Amino acid sequence: MNLKQKVMTLDEFTIQELRNYPGATGQLSGLLRDIGLAAKRVNVEVNKAGIADILGEAGKTNVQGESVKKLDEFANEQFINSLETSISCCGVASEENENFIPFHDEHSKKSKYVVLMDPLDGSSNIDVNVSIGTIFSVYRRLSPEGTECELEDFLQPGTRQIAAGYIIYGSSTMMVYATRRSVQGFTLDPSIGEFCLSHPNLKCPVDSDIFSVNVGYYHLYEEKIRKSIDHFMARNENDRIYRHRFVGCMVAEIHRTLIQGGIFMYPAFGKYSSGRLRLCYECNPMSFIMEKAGGVSMANGKQRLLELKPAQLHQRMPIFIGSKNMMDTWQHIINE
């Protein structure tokens, strides 16, 4: 990095953005800063997961029927607490809670935004020191300000997102978020404990040579899906060679796809007959970010994912997402 260049922190950046838009109330900027603060607290625990008594199963089952790890719980609490204290959020829905949580205090009731989140994504990676993440999605409430938020505030189509983002706890910790205008990436500088703008105006490469899907379920996918996967698998060395990656953490897959391009698929199969990933907590926020970065996200060969109206908070959805050209090729094969 050029040392003469001033490194802008997340706080500085959001305040500068606010100055450029005189009509803005600052609630969204405040919300992003509050999420950043919670992320820093979670990051501290993630970093010591191996030594602290925070590693491993908490012995409970969440509403998805999966066992809950202690870090999932810790992250869930941190983000909820931070959002409740925030002056910008009137309620939150989380993968870890069956129902949405309305905030009862007067300040929160006056706030404009609701947040949906997956507080800890890729939790099976915790025990093996592989990347994990947090995903969040922000909507303007439909219910009147001054009242408690309602279920309908959380069940809006993804196209109505005001902002969405993720935190990746990887070889470094980053926060990436999209607003209607752009996608910005910040890297946590541990020496000052601040997220610093490191990836301004992120754009997903239009083409790439990476495909990502759990091929362990290959024979369980429907025929067209198998055919589209086959396209990316070389038969001989003269074929175009694609590289296969699968981390088992959607945040890591999407982050890689944003930086290096590629296609990530999580199709429906067998017990996950509607897909595995959650529409509101995972698919919608990632699709919003990807589209803002110039990529494409589909729920099937014909349906743009962001246009779906969620029927339930914990609904699942197949997802096919990534670089424009690879997604065009994929759609072509699927619709043949």
* Binding-site positions: 95, 118, 120-124, 214, 282
Check binding of 248 to ligand AHG (CB under 6 A): yes
Residue number, 111 or 137, with CB nearest to ligand AHG: 137
Instruction: Report the residue number, 72 or 153, with the smaller CB distance to ligand AHG.
Output: 72
C-beta of residue 296 within 8 angstroms of C-beta of residue 324: yes
3 state SS of 279: helix
- In the set 17, 118, 194, 291, which binds ligand AHG (CB under 6 A)? 118
CA dist 300 → 44, 209, 312, 330 (Å)? 38, 21, 19, 10
Exposure of 214 by Cβ count < 10 A (0-12 exposed, 13-18 middle, 19+ buried)?
middle
Based on CB atoms, which residue is closest to ligand AHG, 175 or 321?
Answer: 321
Asked whether position 121 contacts Mn ion by CB under 5 A, the answer is yes
Nearer to Mn ion, 28 or 93 (CB): 93
Cα(188)–Cα(37) distance, integer angstroms: 11
Q: How far apart are CA 208 and CA 240, in angstroms?
A: 11
Residue 153 binds Mn ion (CB under 5 A): no
DSSP character at residue 4: T
Min. distance of Cβ 289 from ligand AHG in angstroms?
A: 15
Listed ranges 25-33, 45-53, 89-97, 201-209: which one lies at the site for Mn ion (CB under 5 A): 89-97
| 10/198 Cα distance (integer angstroms) | 10
Residues found near ligand AHG in the complex (CB under 6 A):
66, 95, 118, 121-123, 214, 248-250, 276
Residues found near Mn ion in the complex (CB under 5 A):
66, 95, 118, 120-121
